[in-house]
């Protein structure tokens, strides 16, 4: 924990769940802005770790604490699932929101809880909405679809994709496949994606192919979620947001690329938009030695690059000044 920062453990109760949450704020300076941090994909705990995958990057906690050291109060929460500390208190209510739309439902509840916390502390500061990776698409949906409710001073998209989640997987396959194997790998990926879109079982032959085995072998409820998620066009969604948007991207990210960031910016047209591309950092906003195994990159320990918090805090301060 940085000096001059305090963190309070909270519980977000919504949709039949008790979800671990945290409120992080400065203690040695005034709070100048507040940020809701929506988690990304997979089952991540309140810190942004993935215990069920034995991966502990801690990105969400590091960013929250770094931002708090710069005067920003941050509310973050876990993405419900195994190993995240989430407790199911009403199974039927939880089953009803175990969908892509349910991600937005939970984010709305988190924003309401965040505003209540801010009010209890007597803070009168602009509230921004952010999300990391898949969470960036949730953040865009939250503000685009519930503009008046969100009443956001701005949106921060952290490594947000410009295509649906299955499109992200396909584009990564295309980038990384050797030239002599690219066509075959893409054909296999397209076949599996087609099955997921149509809601039919993936033939066993694809479950034995390393390039698509993980995706092909997922349970049907996982495929249903992916199909729902993939129907959201991140570019079309962010284009519906009238307020300011900041797109933050690392140029060493092998999951979401600078090309994604530029597509999101282009989709905004003439609406207020800023792009921050940071050299040498990956999907979890950390510098990792070149040649590191991709799985080790994903779970790389230690703080995020300070330039992320610096840039986000400066942008939020400028937008707060713009709005008086």
Mean pLDDT of 209-238: 94
Closest CA to 140 of 166, 103, 172, 170: 103
- Can you give the pLDDT at residue 1? 87
pLDDT tens by residue, 113-138:
999 999 999 999 999 999 999 999 99
- Give the C-alpha separation, 142 to 241, whole Å: 10
Q: Is the pLDDT of residue 251 over 90?
A: yes
What's CA 46's distance to the chain center, in Å?
13
Give the pairing type, strands 17-26 and 87-88: antiparallel
Fold type of domain 5-163+233-322: Rossmann fold (3.40.50)
- Give the C-alpha separation, 7 to 91, whole Å: 30
Banded model confidence at residue 295, pLDDT cuts 50, 70, 90: confident
pTM of the model: 0.95
Q: What are the structure tokens assigned to 236, written together? A: 């079309």
- Can you give the pLDDT at residue 110? 98
Could you tell me the residue ranges of all domains in the chain? 5-163+233-322, 167-226
Closest CA to 37 of 170, 125, 100, 128: 128
DSSP 186-246: HHHHHHHHHHHHHT-PPPHHHHT-TTTHHHHTS-HHHHHHHHHHHTS-HHHHHHT--S-EE
Mean pLDDT of the chain: 96
Give the pairing type, strands 17-26 and 273-278: unpaired
Q: What are the structure tokens assigned to 213, written together? A: 């085995």
Is the distance from CB of 86 to CB of 80 less than 8 angstroms? yes
**Percentage of residues of the chain with pLDDT beyond 70:** 100
């Amino acid at each position: 924990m940085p000096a001059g920062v305090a963190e309070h453990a909270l519980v977000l109760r919504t949709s039949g769940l008790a979800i671990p949450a945290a409120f992080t704020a400065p203690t040695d300076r005034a709070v100048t802005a507040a940020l809701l941090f929506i988690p990304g994909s997979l089952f991540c705990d309140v810190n942004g770790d993935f215990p069920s995958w034995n991966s502990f990057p801690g990105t969400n906690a590091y960013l929250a604490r770094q931002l708090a050291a710069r005067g920003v109060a941050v509310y973050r929460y876990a993405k419900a699932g195994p190993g995240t500390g989430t407790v199911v208190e009403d199974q039927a209510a939880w089953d009803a929101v175990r969908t892509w739309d349910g991600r937005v439902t939970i984010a709305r509840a988190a924003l309401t809880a965040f505003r209540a916390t801010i009010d209890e502390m007597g803070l009168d500061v602009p509230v921004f909405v952010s999300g990391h990776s898949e969470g960036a698409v949730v953040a865009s949906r939250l503000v685009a679809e519930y503009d008046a409710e969100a009443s956001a001073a701005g949106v921060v998209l952290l490594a947000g994709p410009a295509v649906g989640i299955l499109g992200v997987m396909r584009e990564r396959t295309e980038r990384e496949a050797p030239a002599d194997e690219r066509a075959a790998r893409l054909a296999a990926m397209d076949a599996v994606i087609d099955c997921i879109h149509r809601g039919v079982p993936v033939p066993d032959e694809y479950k034995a192919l390393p390039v698509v085995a993980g995706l092909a072998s997922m349970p049907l409820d996982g495929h249903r979620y992916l199909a729902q998620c993939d129907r959201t066009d991140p570019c079309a969604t962010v284009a519906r947001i009238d307020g300011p948007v900041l797109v933050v991207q690392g140029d060493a990210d092998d999951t979401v690329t600078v090309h994604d960031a530029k597509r999101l910016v282009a989709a905004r047209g003439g609406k207020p938009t800023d792009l921050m591309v940071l050299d040498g950092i990956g999907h979890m906003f950390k510098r990792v030695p070149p040649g590191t195994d991709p799985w080790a990159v994903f779970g790389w320990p230690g703080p995020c690059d300070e330039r992320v918090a610096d840039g986000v805090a400066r942008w939020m301060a400028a937008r707060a000044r713009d709005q008086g």
